Amino acid sequence: MTDDQLDDLLSLSRAPEPSPELERSVREAWSRLAKVHDSGEPWWRRSIRIPAWTLAALPVILVAIWLLQPPVQDADGFALSDFKPAPPVVEIIPVGGHHGPPLAR
C-alpha cells in the first residue's frame, strides 16, 4: 500500500460529534470560574491570600525584629558593642640627665 492510499483511508475515519450536553456542562464550569476571575483581584492575590491584618502589622513586626536582633559579631564571636575605646597610651619619658640603664642602688 502506498502512503497516498493510506492517507485516503485515514481520511475516511471520522470521530463522533460531541454531545450538546457537553457544551452546557463546560459552559457552567467556565461561568463559575469566570466569576472568580472577574472579582477584580489580581491573580497573585488569589493565589496567595494574605490577611489584611498581616499587612497592617508588618511595620510593627519589622521594627520588633530589628530591636530584638542580636548584636553584630565579628569572625571571632565578639560583639562589636563589646569593644570599648582603648585607654590612651601614655609614654613615660624619663626626665633628667640620666639616659643609661637604671642605676644600681
- For another protein, which stretch binds (CB under 8 A), given 10-18, 52-60, 79-87, 92-100? 10-18
Phi/psi of residue 73, each to 5°?
-115, 155
The answer to the question of residue 52 lying near another protein (CB under 8 A) is no
Instruction: Name residue 84's amino acid.
Output: K
Residue 45 in contact with another protein, rule: CB under 8 A = no
For another protein, which residue of 16, 51, 100, 101 counts as binding (CB under 8 A)?
Answer: 16
Bridge-partner residues for 79, per DSSP? 73
- By CB under 8 A, is residue 58 in contact with another protein? no
* Piece in contact with another protein (CB under 8 A), picked from 22-30, 54-62, 63-71, 87-95: 22-30
**Nearest CA among 72, 50, 71 for reference residue 61:** 50
Q: How far is CA 87 from CA 3, 66, 82, 83, 84, in A?
A: 98, 32, 15, 12, 9
Q: Is 34 in the site for another protein (CB under 8 A)?
A: yes
**Distance between CA 8 and CA 84 in Å, rounded?**
94
Binding-site size, another protein (CB under 8 A): 31
> Which residues sit at the interface with another protein, rule CB under 8 A?
1-6, 8-10, 12-19, 21-23, 25-27, 29-30, 33-35, 37-38, 43
